[in-house]
Structure 1
Amino acid sequence: MDPGAPVYVQELRPVAGSLGLSALVAALPLVIVLVLLGVARVKAHVAGLTGLLAAALVAWLAYGMPVGQTLSGAAQGAAFGLFPILWIVVNALWVYRMTVHTRHFDVLRRSFGRLSDDPRIQALVVAFCFGALLEALAGFGAPVAICAVMLVALGFDPVRAAFVALVANTAPVAFGAMGTPVVTLAQVTGLPLDSVASVVGRQTPLLALVVPLVLVVLVDGRRGLRETWVPALACGTAFAAAQFVAANHFSAQLADIAASLAGAAALVAVPHTRVPATQAVRVHVLTGARSEELDEPDPRPEIVRAYAPYALIVVIFSVAQIPAVKDRLARATRTVDWPFLDVVGPDGAPAGGNVFTWPVLSTGGTLVLLAGAATAAVLGVHARVALREWVSTVRELRFAMLTVTSLLALAYVMNLSGQAATIGHFVAAAGPGLAFLSPVLGWFGVAVTGSDTSANALFGALQVTAARESGLSPELLAAANTSGGVLGKMISPQNLTIACAAVGLAGREGDLLRKVLPWSLGLLLAMCLIVVGQSSPLLDWTLP
C-alpha cells in the first residue's frame, strides 16, 4: 500500500446506482476481447491491448479510479505476466529448443516408436503421456504441434494425428507450464495456491480416466476400445492417481510431470502394450507415410541423454520441495508495496494488489532455468549456443508475451477497479445454477483466448465473487473455471491453427473443428455435472 497514493474505494454500482447497468458497462472490456478474437479474428495481442485500453477507460470514466492508480494496476498485472508466468514458459521452451538443436529430440521420438508397433498404444504414449509432459514444461500450443508431427512421422494420417493430439491435450492443461494456470488463478483471486490446486486436482483426474479410452476410440473405433482398453485404462488410472497426489499433497508445479511419467510407466508395465498389432489394424490406422528415420539405431548413451533434460527437471523440482531447501529458496522471495496503488474494497479491506510478491528463486521458471543449464552441460551445448537459443526463444514468443502481459494487465485493472466484483455480484443471481455454468464460462474463455491461464486471469475473480454472493465455495468455482477451461483448448482457433499448420493442413481448421467439437461439448457436460455434484451433498465429500 503506497501512503503517497490517494485511497481508492471500489464501488459496485457506479452507473446510475444500478447493478445491472454497472455490470453491463463493466463487461465491455471482456466483450471487446471476445468479439475481436472470436468474430473479427484479429491477432490475440491486438485484442488484448484493445481490451486493456477499454478496461482502463471504464475504470477511469465509469468507476472513477484515478488514472495513476489505473496505470499502476495495469503495470502490476503486466509484471506478473512476465514473472513468474512467462519466465516459466521461456525457460521451458528453451530446454526443448536445445534438444532439437542437438537432435536428441529425434532420438526421443525414435525411442517412443520402438516401444510398441501398435498405433493405438503409440497414440497413448505420444499424444497423452509425452504430450502431458510437454504441457507440464511449456504449454501454450507446443504439445499439440510437437505430438501431431510425431504421430505423422509414425504413419498416422495428418487429420487423425491432429485430431488425436487436440483431444489428448485436455487433462494436463490445468497444471501446464509448471502450474501456470493455477498459479495465475490463485494470484487474481487471492485464494491460497494449495487450496485451488487441491480442488482442481480432484476434478481433472476424472477426465484423465476417460481421455485415454477416448483416444483409442478415435484411433481405431470400437475395435480399438475392445482390444486396448486394458492399457488405456491402466494409463489413465495411473495418470489420474499421480496428478491427484501431486496436486493435493506435493506440488502443483509437479502434478503433470508426475502424472505423465506414471501414465507412461503403467503403459510399459501392462503386457498388452508389447503385443504386436495385427496387420489389419496397422493398415486401417497408419494411412500416412512412415518416416524412414524411425528405423535408425541409436546408441544407448544417446537415448539416456535424450531423456536427461526431463529427468533433470523432475529431480530439481523434487529437491526444491524438500522442506529445508524449500525454506532456503523462499528466503529470497521479495515482497514490496506496489507504488502509486492504494485500493480498498467496498468493505474497506485493502485489496491484494497493493502488495507485490516476487519469488526470485522458488518460482518454477528459475528452477527450469537451472535445469536448462544442466541440460546444456549434459547435451554438450556450448554456453554461447545455449544463450543464442534462449534469445531465439524470447524472440519466437514475443507476440505471446505481449498477449499474456496485456491480458494480465486487463485482469488486474478490472479486479482493482471493482469491475470484476460488479460482474460477479450480478452473475451470482444465477444461484444454484451457477455451479453448472461455472465450467462453461471457463470453457468459453479458453475456446476464445486459447489459454487456460488467460481465461483464469479474465474470469477467476468474477467466479470467486459470484461464489461468495451465492453461498457456494469460492475454491470450487475458481477450480471449475480452470477444469472447464481445459475442455475448450481443443476447439480454440489458436490450437486448431497450430495443429493444422504442424501437419500440413493449413486452411482446414473448420473440418478439424467439426471433428473435435462434439467431444469438447460432451466432456464439458460431464465436468459441469461433476461440479454440480461437488456443490451438493452428492459429491461434496470429494472436496478437501
Structure 2
Amino acid sequence: MFVQQLAPLAGSLAWSALVAILPLATVLVLLGVVRMKAHVVALIGLAVALVVGIAVYGMPVGQAVSGGLQGAAFGLFPILWIVVNALWIYRITVRTGHFDVLRRSFGRVSDDPRIQALIIAFCFGALMEALAGFGAPVAISAVMLVALGFSPVKAAVVALVANTAPVAFGAMGTPVVTLAQVTGLPLDQVASIVGRQTPLLALFVPLLLVIIVDGKRGLRQTWLPALVCGVAFGVVQFLASNYVSAQLADIGAALAGAAALVALPASRKPAAEEVRTSVLTGTRTATLERPDERREIVLAYLPYALIIVIFSLGQLPPIKKLLDSATWKFHWPFLDIAGPTGKPVSGNVFSLPFLNTGGTLVLLAGILTAIALKVSASDTAAEWLATVKELRFAILTVTGVLALAYVMNLDGQNSTIGTFIAAAGAGLAFLSPVLGWFGVAVSGSDTSANALFGALQVTAANKTGLPADLLAAANSSGGVLGKMISPQNLTIACVAANLPGEEGKLLRKVLPWSVGLLLVMCLIVVGQSTPVLSWMLP
C-alpha cells in the first residue's frame, strides 16, 4: 500500500507545496505565456506530475501510471462520450439543412436585435452548452448573430459574455460530475450549492447583453424582457439542480428563459427602425427571409425535444434503477492507496455507468434523430467518425488534464497544496472563485479547472473549517466567469465571426465584464460562508 505524505521534503510543508505545484505551474505558464497547444501542454503537465509523484512523493511507478490511466479513462467515459455524441447530433442537423431552418426560426421570433441576442446567445446558447459545451455555444451563437446582421465584433462579444451562467452544468452536467468525482463529494450536494450560486449570475447576464448590444438605450427599453428571461432561467436552474437532476438543469433553464421571452408581449414588440439601423451594422443573410414549411420547423426542433424527453424519462425511479443496474464498479488495477491517516482513498475504486450516463442517452437521441431526419446509417456513422476526428485534439487535452489531475490527487500533491494555502483562513472563501476563474481562463474548460483544483479546494477548506462543499462549488461557479476570456474561447469566437487575429480586441472588450461578475461571485461565496447568506445553502 502507498500512503500519501503531506510534507515529503524534509518535513517542510512550504517546500513540499512549492514542488507539488510544479505540474500546475507548468500547465499555466505553457498555456498562458508560451501559448503552446493545449493538448501538448496537458501531456507535458502530466509528465511533470508523474515525475514529482514518483521522485518526491515516493509513489510506485506502476501505481502512478495506473492512476494517470484511470484519469484518462474517466476523461473518455463518461466525459468525452457526452461531448462527441452531442456534437454528432449538431453535425447531423447541419448536414440535413435543419440547423439553417432553426436559425431562420429564431430570427422570426422578434425583429428586435436586442431580443434576438437574448434568444440566440443566452437561451439557445445555454441549450447548446447543456448538450455539448466545450466552445460549441460560442461558435454557433456567433454564426447565427452574424447571419442576422450583427457586426462580427458585437456578435462575438455577445456570444462570449452569454456563455457564463450555464457553464457549470454544461455538457449534461460534466463540470459538476467531474468536481464530485475528484473531490469525493456527493454529486447532488455539489450540484445543489452550485445551483444556489450561478442562478444569481443569470439575473445580471441578460441585462449586460442588452447593454452590449445597444448601450443605455437597450437597457432602458428592454430591461423588462431581459430581467424576465434571467429570472426564469435562474429559477428553473435552481429548481432543477437542487430537486431534479444536474444533467437537466441547463436544458430546463434555457427552455424556461426562451419561453418567458416569447410569452412576454414586450419581447414581440417591433423594434424602431433607428434601433435596427444602429445595432445591425453587418450584412443580413438573405436566406433568412426564405419561408419554411411547418414540418421542417418541427424536425429542426426535434433533436432537442428528443434529448429532453429521453433525459426526463431517465430520471423516473423505475427507469433510473434499470439504467443503474448496468453500472460496473471495480477495484482499479494496481492501485492500493491510502490517505495520510491510513484510510484507503476512494480513487481505488472506479465506476463505469454504461447506460445511466449522459453520453449514452444522447447517443440514443442521436440515433432517433437520424431516423427522423432520414439520414442513412452509413452517413450517420460517417458523421460520428467525423465528429471524433474534429475533436481529436480536444480528446487529447481532456484525457491529459484528467490524467494529470488524478495523479496529483492520488499521490498527495493536491493535499499538500491545499493544506498550505489553508493559511489564507477565512479569506479563502473570497479566493476560491478566483482560483476557479483563473483555471478556466487558462484552460478554457470548467471541467478541467474542477479536475485541477477541486480536491485542492476541499483540502484547504477542511484545514480552515470552511464548508468543503461550498469551496468546491465556488471553484466551479467562479470558473464559469473565466470562460469568456480564455484564449480557446476567444479563438473560437474569432473563427466563427470571421475576425482573424482579433483575439486581443475581443479580450479587451470582455475582460471588464468577466472581472466585474467575478467580484459579484466572490462576494456571494463570502456571504454564504458567514451567517449573512449561509441560509442560502442546503
Q: TM-score range by the shorter chain?
A: over 0.9
The one-letter code sitting in structure 2 at the alignment partner of 1:419 is Q
Counterpart position of 2:365: 371
SS at match of 1:223: helix
Which residue of the other structure, out of 286, 293, 305, is the alignment partner of 2:299? Answer: 305
Report whether the alignment pairs 1:327 with 2:327. no
- Could you tell me how far apart the structure 1 residues matched to 2:10 and 2:74 are? 34
Report whether the alignment pairs 1:409 with 2:403. yes
SS at match of 1:357: strand
The one-letter code sitting in structure 1 at the alignment partner of 2:445 is S
Report whether the alignment pairs 1:117 with 2:107. no
Counterpart position of 1:290: 284
Counterpart position of 2:158: 164
Deviation, 1:133, is 0.3
The one-letter code sitting in structure 1 at the alignment partner of 2:177 is V
Q: CA offsets per residue over residues 9-47 of structure 1, 9 Å max, x none?
A: 000000111000000000000000000000000000010
Q: How do 1:115-264 and structure 2 match up within 5 A?
A: 115-264=109-258
Counterpart position of 1:382: 376
Give the unaligned 5+ runs of structure 2.
none
Report whether the alignment pairs 1:278 with 2:260. no
TM-score, length-scaled by structure 2: 1.00
Q: CA offsets per residue over residues 384-442 of structure 1, 9 Å max, x none?
A: 11010000000110100000000000000000000000000001000000000000000
Deviation, 1:506, is 1.0
Backbone CA RMSD of aligned residues: 0.4
Counterpart position of 2:479: 485
Counterpart position of 1:104: 98
Counterpart position of 2:334: 340
- Could you tell me how far apart the structure 1 residues matched to 2:49 and 2:347 are? 16
SS at match of 2:531: coil
The one-letter code sitting in structure 2 at the alignment partner of 1:431 is G
Counterpart position of 1:4: none
- Could you tell me how far apart the structure 1 residues matched to 2:289 and 2:357 are? 40
Deviation, 1:258, is 0.3
Q: How do 1:405-484 and structure 2 match up within 5 A?
A: 405-484=399-478
Give the unaligned 5+ runs of structure 1.
1-6
Report whether the alignment pairs 1:31 with 2:29. no
The one-letter code sitting in structure 1 at the alignment partner of 2:266 is H
SS at match of 1:334: strand
- Could you tell me how far apart the structure 2 residues matched to 1:131 and 1:380 are? 26
Q: CA offsets per residue over residues 312-362 of structure 1, 9 Å max, x none?
A: 000000000000000010000000110100000011111111000000100
- Could you tell me how far apart the structure 2 residues matched to 1:497 and 1:202 are? 31
Counterpart position of 1:394: 388
Counterpart position of 1:43: 37
Deviation, 1:367, is 0.3
The one-letter code sitting in structure 2 at the alignment partner of 1:326 is K
The one-letter code sitting in structure 2 at the alignment partner of 1:257 is I
SS at match of 1:341: coil
Which residue of the other structure, out of 18, 28, 31, is the alignment partner of 2:12? Answer: 18
- Could you tell me how far apart the structure 1 residues matched to 2:269 and 2:333 are? 64
Q: CA offsets per residue over residues 103-137 of structure 1, 9 Å max, x none?
A: 00000000000000000000000000000000000
SS at match of 1:79: helix
- Could you tell me how far apart the structure 2 residues matched to 1:73 and 1:509 are? 37
Deviation, 1:378, is 1.0
Counterpart position of 2:86: 92
SS at match of 1:224: helix
The one-letter code sitting in structure 1 at the alignment partner of 2:260 is A
- Could you tell me how far apart the structure 2 residues matched to 1:443 and 1:362 are? 30
- Could you tell me how far apart the structure 2 residues matched to 1:381 and 1:536 are? 56
Counterpart position of 1:3: none
- Could you tell me how far apart the structure 2 residues matched to 1:87 and 1:503 are? 28
- Could you tell me how far apart the structure 2 residues matched to 1:9 and 1:49 are? 26
Counterpart position of 2:260: 266
Report whether the alignment pairs 1:64 with 2:94. no
- Could you tell me how far apart the structure 1 residues matched to 2:380 and 2:228 are? 39
Report whether the alignment pairs 1:496 with 2:484. no
**Equivalenced residues, count:** 538
- Could you tell me how far apart the structure 1 residues matched to 2:76 and 2:491 are? 25
- Could you tell me how far apart the structure 1 residues matched to 2:68 and 2:469 are? 25
SS at match of 1:17: coil
Q: Which runs of 4+ in 1 moved over 2 A?
A: none
